[in-house]
Amino acid sequence: MRSKYQSPLCGRYASAEMQGIFSDDTKFSTWRKLWVALAESQAALGLNINDEQIEQMKANIHNINYERASEIERETKHDVMSHIKAFGEQCPAAAPIIHLGATSCYVGDNTDIIIQKSALLLVKKLLVNAVYELYKFAAKYKDLHCLAYTHFQSAQPTTVGKRACLWIQDLLFDLEQLDFILDNLKLLGCKGTTGTAASFLALFDGDHDKVKQLEQMIAQKIGFDSNKIYPVSGQTYSRKIDYYTVSVLCGIAQSASKFSNDIRLLSHLKEIQEPFEDKQVGSSAMAYKKNPIKSERIASLARYVMTNSLNPALTASSQWFERTLDDSANRRIAIPEAFLAVDAILSLMINISGGLIVNPKIVEKRLEEELPLMATENILMHCVRKGGDRQELHEQIRLHSMEETDSDLIERILNNPAFEFTKEEMDSILNVEQFTGRSTQQCEEFLSYVKAILDNNHGLLGIDVEITI
C-alpha cells in the first residue's frame, strides 16, 4: 500500500543525486561534521577538549541514530537539541563538549549554505551540459534556412542554428549569474545567539583574536576558504542569500520555459520535434499523436520554480531584528524543492536538446510558401531602379497580395506588364540567402564564444540523465 503522500519531485522528476544532496543523511552528517570542526578548532585554540572526545565524534558522523533523535524531539520539541543529545549518547566522552558555545543556527545555517553550494554545483553541471547539447545542434543546423516568427506571424527568415543560439544565450546569462552566486557564497560561521559571538568570547576569556581564528579554522575544515564567512549577522545569515540563490534557479526556469515553448510551437508546425521513443504513446485515444510532453513538463515545472521564487523574497523581508522563526518551515520546503524542480527541468532540456528531430523538407516548404510575401519589398525596389513608379507598383503588389490564391503571388507579378520582370530576375531576388542577413555568420561567431566557455568548463561535460515519463 502507498498510504502516504510523496512529493512528485522525488518520486517522478528529480534525480537521485539532487535528492541525495537534500537528504536527511547529508543534512545530519553535516551537522556532525560541523560539531567535530568546532571541537577540533576549540581544542587547537586551547580549550580543554581531548583526542578521545573528538575521535568518538568522528566515529559516529554517519552513524545517525534517527529513532533516538525523533524520540527526544517528541519530548523537547527542538530538532537541534534532540540531535545533540542523540549524538552525545553515541559518544559519551564527548557529550559534555558537543555544541560548546554554539546556537542552533551554527549547524542549521552553515549546513544550509554547504548544501546549497553542492546543489548549485550540480545545477552548474547540468546547465553546462544543456548548453553543450544546444551548441552541437546549432553548429549542425547553422546553414538551414527557416522562417522566423515575430508575434508568431511569418517574418524575415533566419536559420535553425541561429535560433538555437538564442536559447544558448539565455542559458549563458544564467551561468554567469550562477558563477557569481557560487563565488560569493559564504558561511555563517560561529556568531552565537544574536551574532555578537559573546559566548565564544567568554569561552576564550575575552580573546578576540581567538574568536576570529575559530571561525576561520572551522571554515577551512568544512571546505570553505577562511575568508568565506559573512562578516556580520544576527543569529542567522541574511535570508536575502536564499533569495539570490533561488533567483538564479528562477532565471534558469525562465530560459528553459522559453526554449520549451518554442519547441512546442515548432512541433505543431512539424518543423522540429522533441525525441519520441519507440513505444511511447502520445494519446490514449488518438494513436497518431506525438505530443511534446517533455517540453510541456519543462513549462509546467518552470512555472512552479518562478512562482516559488517569491517565497525567499517574502521570507527575507519579514525577518525581525536578529532573528525570527517564521522563516524555518517555509525554507524547509521552498529551497529544496526549487533545486529539485530545476534539476528535473535541466535534465529534460538535456534529453530534448540531444535528440531534437528536424524535418528539413517541412522547414524548406514553409519558407518557400512565405518567401514571396517577404520578397515584395525587394521586387518593388528592383522595379523602381529600372524606372517604375513606386506608388503605382506598391498598389499593384497590395492588390495581388489581397487576391493571392494557392501561393500564386509571384506568378501574378510576373504576368503583370507594369513590373517588366523576367523569370531570371525573379529567381535572383527569391534567393533565400538575400533574406537571412548575417544569421549564419552570427551563429558561427557566437558558437566560437560558446566553445571557449565550454572549454573552460570541460571537466563538467558528460552526464547521464534519466527521464521518467
Q: Which residues are catalytic?
A: 151, 283
Rounded to whole angstroms, how far apart are CA atoms 305 and 260?
Answer: 15
Q: Is residue 88 a contact partner of residue 39, using CB atoms and an 8 Å limit?
A: no
- In this structure, what C-alpha cell is assigned to residue 280? 511511447
Q: Which helix (DSSP H) or strand (DSSP E) does residue 154 occupy?
A: strand 153-159
Q: Which helix (DSSP H) or strand (DSSP E) does residue 459 occupy?
A: none
- Give the length of the chain: 469
Return the half-sphere exposure (C-beta side, CA atoms, 13 A cut-off) of residue 257: 16
Closest C-alpha to 68, from 56, 95, 86:
86
> Coil, strand or helix: which one is 112?
helix
Q: What are phi and psi of 179, to 5 degrees?
A: -60, -40
Instruction: Give the C-alpha distances (Å, rounded to integers) separating 328 from 79, 105, 236, 324, 334.
Output: 12, 11, 11, 9, 10
CA geometry: angle 283, 289, 295, nearest 5 deg: 85
Give the count of beta carbons closer than 10 Å to the beta carbon of residue 102.
Answer: 21
Rounded to whole angstroms, how far apart are CA atoms 191 and 226?
Answer: 15
> Coil, strand or helix: which one is 148?
strand
Q: Is residue 309 a contact partner of residue 342, using CB atoms and an 8 Å limit?
A: no
The set of residues, in sequence order, having a beta carbon less than 8 Å from that of 233 and lying 6+ positions away, is 188, 189, 191, 195
Rounded to whole angstroms, how far apart are CA atoms 71 and 340?
Answer: 29
Rounded to whole angstroms, how far apart are CA atoms 193 and 105?
Answer: 8
Specify which residues 149 forms β-bridges with: 154
Cα dihedral across residues 433, 438, 439, 441: positive or negative: positive
Rounded to whole angstroms, how far apart are CA atoms 61 and 342?
Answer: 30
Specify which residues 272 forms β-bridges with: 358
Q: Is residue 261 a contact partner of residue 343, using CB atoms and an 8 Å limit?
A: no
Q: What are phi and psi of 154, to 5 degrees?
A: -55, 135
> Coil, strand or helix: which one is 387?
coil
